[in-house]
Amino acid sequence: MGARQFVFGYGSLAGGGAGRPSRLHGSRRVWGVAMDNRVAIAGYKVYLRADGSRPAVFVAFLDVVDEPGAATDGVLLEVDDEALAALDERERNYARVDVTAAVDGAAGGTVWVYRGTGAGRERLRRGIAEGIAVVARAYLETVRAGYARAGIGDGAEPGELPVMDLERIDLPA
**Domains: count for the chain:** 1
Least confident among 7-21, 35-49, 53-67: 7-21
Residue 156, pLDDT score: 80
Give me the sign of the Cα torsion angle 93, 19, 28, 163.
Answer: positive
Higher pLDDT, 1 or 43: 43
Question: pLDDT value at position 93?
Answer: 93
Domain containing residue 91: CATH number: 3.10.490.10
How confident is the model at residue 15, as a pLDDT? 79
What number is the average pLDDT over the span 29-52? Answer: 96
pLDDT digits (tens, 9 = 90+) for 113-136: 999 999 999 999 999 999 999 999
Residues 127, 73, 110, 7, CA torsion sign: negative
CA distances from 42 to 45, 55, 78 (A): 8, 18, 29
Residues in Cβ contact with 163 at an 8 Å cutoff, skipping those fewer than 6 apart: 134, 135, 136, 137, 140
pLDDT at 151: 87
Q: Do 60 and 161 form a contact (C-beta atoms < 8 A)?
A: yes
What is the predicted pLDDT for the residue at 2?
A: 63
Using the predicted structure, report yes or no on whether residue 62 has a pLDDT greater than 80. Answer: yes
Under the banding of pLDDT at 50, 70 and 90, the label for residue 55 is very high
Mean pLDDT, residues 83-105: 93
Using 50, 70 and 90 to split pLDDT, how confident is the model at 169?
Answer: very high
Can you say whether residue 131 is alpha, beta or left, with left for phi > 0 and alpha for psi between -120 and 50 degrees?
A: left
Answer for the pair 138, 164: CB distance below 8 angstroms, yes or no: no
Over 60: is that where the pLDDT of 1 sits? no
Higher pLDDT, 98 or 146: 98
Give the per-residue pLDDT at 164: 98
Residues 6+ apart with CB under 8 A from 148: 155
Tell me the residue length of the chain: 173
Domain of residue 47 covers: 5-170
